[in-house]
Amino acid sequence: MAVARSDVALLSVIFGNHKWEVFEVASDWLYQEELLIAESRFWDCVRTGQMPVAAPVPAPPAPVGVREVCLEGNNAWAAAAGDWLACQDAARRHKAAAATLKGLVDPDVARAFGHGIEARRSKAGALSIKELQA
């Protein structure tokens, strides 16, 4: 992933002769950095002829998102799921309104405001919208 500058990789695993699964693995740049340092030290030994000194092996990153779990009996999950489902339409309307507002701000405008909200442009040019405080 480091060489290809990829954020994810797919790992294909065959369990025995019958079960096959594909796992998406996220890039961990800290782990990649540790591996690159170890490889560089080893290559220096190859070039100079010196015996490599044993170094601690970097701990592999913890797996992320490899299990499935049913939360049907969890009350907190049930309450949050109900809120999430009930607010989907409002979230879509909010996203559409934000896009409309941002489309109304000309590229040379640093701050636009009115009707209780403001849109501010960052130094990078991105617009953010927030509620104005009274």
Q: Using 50, 70 and 90 to split pLDDT, how confident is the model at 66?
A: low
pLDDT of residue 64: 67
Tokens of 29: 């740049």
Dist CA 41 CA 52 (whole Å): 8
Tokens of 26: 């996220």
Give me the mean pLDDT over the 24-49 stretch. 89
Place of tokens 């490889």: 39
Measuring CA to CA, how many Å separate 14 from each of 17, 22, 23, 27, 66? 7, 9, 11, 22, 15
Instruction: Tell me which of 29 and 79 has the higher pLDDT.
Output: 79
Model pTM score: 0.48
CA 80 to chain centre: 22
Asked whether residue 121 carries a pLDDT value surpassing 90, the answer given is: yes
Asked whether residue 10 carries a pLDDT value surpassing 80, the answer given is: yes
pLDDT of residue 58: 75
Dist CA 41 CA 47 (whole Å): 10
Which of 89, 116, 119, 88 is CA-nearest to residue 101?
Answer: 119
